[in-house]
Amino acid sequence: MSTLDITEQPDLSKRPATPNGKPHVLIVGAGLAGLMLALLLEKADIPYQIFERAAKIRPLGSALSLGANILPVFEQLGLLEEIERISLPVYEQKLYDGNMKNIGSMTMREYKEFTGYDTFIFARPRLYEVMFDRVPAEKVFMNRKVLALEQNHLGVMIRCNDGSQYHGDILIGADGAYSSVRQALYKKMLAKNVLPKSDNESLAPSFVTTVGVTDPVDPEKYPALRESTVNFSQVIGGQLMSWGTLTIPDNRICWGASLQLTSETESKEQQFRNSEWGPESIESSLALFRDCRVPIGGTLGDLMDATPKDLISKVYLEEKLFETWHYGRTALAGDACHKMLLSAGQGAVNAMQDAVVLANVIYDLESTTQEAIEAAFLDYRTQRYPHAKYQYINSKLVSKLMTGQVKRYFLS
């Protein structure tokens, strides 16, 4: 991605008219962070548009968990009952070794007593559908890959792959770990020698994970499906391998299999780093884990065979916390500013928490001057960075635990 090769200033006469001096927000990326921001701006009556590079939405991903650290927002949006409808509560995660011996558990039974909310688990695509369906269709532009951007004291402008241009007051890059918005922003900052050195370093994949959600399967074969709560099992298989299953409504099972990458493996797999949340090059991963037993019964291969092949995803997971979250009229959210190895759903929760704080600081804007917007974005980073850093550190411990690198007394 490159910046616009233009000499003229962004023409704000082309910017959509906004009521009462409210900023017009351009959101790049229709993932969970982008959709959450859109829903909050919709509720606040702040104008926005979403630009998504994919031509159509594909329901990829596996299990997702939401708890008290984000459910109040869904309740305010009137979506809590919908979340409960598509999910089951989870009270315990059981840990096993490769021989199916139980080696510990992590309990969540007291969460509701302390927070007022259960922790719910469901298929990630179901949440995506719930959120996407509530964003007005005329505000979502599919097959719009952002190729260039420009910003100055007057506004911000993006140019897409079809030659179209869009103007606004604020640009939010919520377009993933390989964010085109971040790349363009960092290129500008690098040219001005204001980009921290660490932000210019490449992302290094630490894990490769293959995930999927089965079609409805037979409860006779998997009796845990009859339970009223989630059966959540994680296997620490040795050789830096781990895999797990979770039961969800409609007799479906979410599954995932992770392999920690060594430096040698990382080098060999470098060419696939941009295949995030896509079905490309999954056969080797499927073969590696196919014969692995699962506590719920049978093998991972059985669950793979019950999953539509085009809905099996392979994603590279990196550990990276960027220092730069905003510059000028542009801010980054979700994986565009922090990419972490986290427990089921925590990465998505972090992204949506970014969106909540962004919506709040945008709502509080008293003008659309660049100075006011920069101050708002500084407030956003000040609020979010310490929490993201804590999760970044915590994710490393969770990663080691799930691949058997932490002594067993941590599992009690």
Two structure tokens written together for 369: 């001057």
C-alpha gyration radius of the chain: 22
d(CA 52, CA 181): 12
- Residue in this structure with the two tokens 């409960």, named with its chain if needed: 84
Q: Where are the beta strands (DSSP E) in 71-142?
A: 88-89, 92-97, 102-107, 120-123, 140-141
Q: Looking at the domain 12-56+142-202+319-397, which fold is it?
A: FAD/NAD(P)-binding domain (3.50.50)
Q: H or E stretch including 314?
A: strand 313-318
| 63 phi/psi in degrees, rounded to 5 | -75, 150
C-alpha 251: how far from chain center: 25
Q: Which amino acid makes up residue 282?
A: I
Q: Looking at the domain 63-123+205-318, which fold is it?
A: D-Amino Acid Oxidase; Chain A, domain 2 (3.30.9)
Domain with CATH 3.30.9.30 in the chain: 63-123+205-318
Two structure tokens written together for 343: 């427990």
Give 403's contacts (C-beta < 8 A, 6+ positions apart): 236, 240, 241, 242, 258, 260
**What does the DSSP 8-state code read for residue 21?**
G
Residue 372 CA: distances (Å) to CA of 364, 368, 379: 10, 6, 11
Domain with CATH 3.50.50.60 in the chain: 12-56+142-202+319-397
Beta bridge partner(s), residue 89: 120
Give the sign of the dihedral formed by CA 56, CA 61, CA 65, CA 68. negative
pLDDT value, residue 41 = 98
Low-confidence ranges of the chain (pLDDT < 70): 1-19, 59, 203-205, 262-281, 339-345, 395-412
Beta bridge partner(s), residue 140: 50
pLDDT value, residue 328 = 96
**Burial class for 385, CB neighbours closer than 10 Å (0-12, 13-18, 19+):** middle
d(CA 159, CA 146): 6
Residue 112 CA: distances (Å) to CA of 119, 124, 343: 8, 22, 19
Q: Are 403 and 206 in contact (CB under 8 A)?
A: no
Q: What is the pLDDT of residues 232-254, one digit of tens each?
A: 999 988 777 899 999 999 999 99
> Which residue from 158, 159, 168, 171 is spatially nearest to 374, judged by alpha carbons?
171
Q: What is the pLDDT of residues 322-380, one digit of tens each?
A: 999 999 999 999 988 876 544 445 778 999 999 999 999 999 999 999 999 999 999 99
Two structure tokens written together for 43: 């509720």
Q: Are 320 and 393 in contact (CB under 8 A)?
A: no
**What does the DSSP 8-state code read for residue 224?**
G
* Global pTM value: 0.88
**Burial class for 90, CB neighbours closer than 10 Å (0-12, 13-18, 19+):** buried
